[in-house]
Copies of this chain bind each other. A is one copy, B any other.
Amino acid sequence: MPSGRIITTASITLATNGGFEQECVSFFAEVVQLFGVPKSVGQIYGLLYASPEPLGFPDIVERLDISKGSASQGLQLLRSLGAINEAERSSSLSNLSSEIKREARGVAYEPELSLRQLVTGVLRERIAPMATTGTDRLKRLKELAENSPANNKFYLGRAKQLETWRKRFTTVMPLLTALLGPKKKR
């Protein structure tokens, strides 16, 4: 497979995928915005999702026409969410022509397809932190309730209820991910 092998599928697929890619990009861009995630991040995931081949950093910048900065930050976020994975690449490049080597440089990504994995990532990075700092604030709230000169009983009741809300939340979250699919094979 010397010269027939084309790694940079970018321009080729672009010409022949009949709009699927474009639609996919804007679809995911829209979806993620509902979760408070920047549009460009959704675009990147959508692009990877619509690509039969893993794509590298330069592909993403070029095909989405976004800045390197956006691409870099977007990929960072997607990595931290576990929403993309690095694709394998042949490690012995020495015997390839320099033109092909050029294309094979750097890391290529493919989208994570496990729904459970994706949801877990969002929960871990977005919701869990809230639960943590929330616990501190609840403690403080309870103290304030105890020290409140008037309506002591009322405030204590409220503080107590917030605590039970938090507990229910933290017990339900793992259940939710379990419902969304099997644990990821490692």
A95 interface contact, C-beta 8 A: no
**Which of the four size classes fits the interface of chain A?**
35 or more
CB neighbours (8 Å) of A36 from chain B are 34-36
Q: Do residues A20 and B168 form an inter-chain contact, with CB atoms below 8 A? A: no
Q: Does A57 contact B (CB under 8 A)?
A: no
Which of B31, B168, B176 meets A172, CB within 8 Å?
B176
CA distance A134 to B172 in the complex (A): 26
Known: A34-B130, A113-B161, A126-B34. A151 touches B181 (CB 8 A): no
What separation, in Å, do the CA atoms of A141 and B23 have in the docked complex?
7
Interface of A is mostly: helix
Report copies per complex.
2
Give complex CA distance A140, B19 in Å.
Answer: 10
Contact A141 B16 (CB under 8 A): no
Query: What's the nearest-Cβ distance from chain B to residue A46, in Å?
Result: 11
A49 to chain B, nearest CB (A): 7
- Give me 22 A-to-B residue pairs in the complex whose CB atoms sit less than 8 angstroms apart, sorted by A's number: A16-B149, A16-B150, A16-B151, A17-B148, A17-B150, A19-B144, A20-B144, A20-B148, A23-B137, A23-B141, A23-B144, A24-B141, A24-B158, A27-B134, A27-B137, A34-B36, A34-B127, A52-B151, A113-B161, A172-B176, A172-B180, A175-B179
The 5 closest A-B pairs by CB, nearest first: A18-B148, A20-B144, A16-B150, A52-B154, A36-B36
6 more contacts with CB within 8 A, not counting A13-B151, A52-B151, are: A17-B151, A18-B149, A24-B158, A31-B134, A52-B154, A115-B165
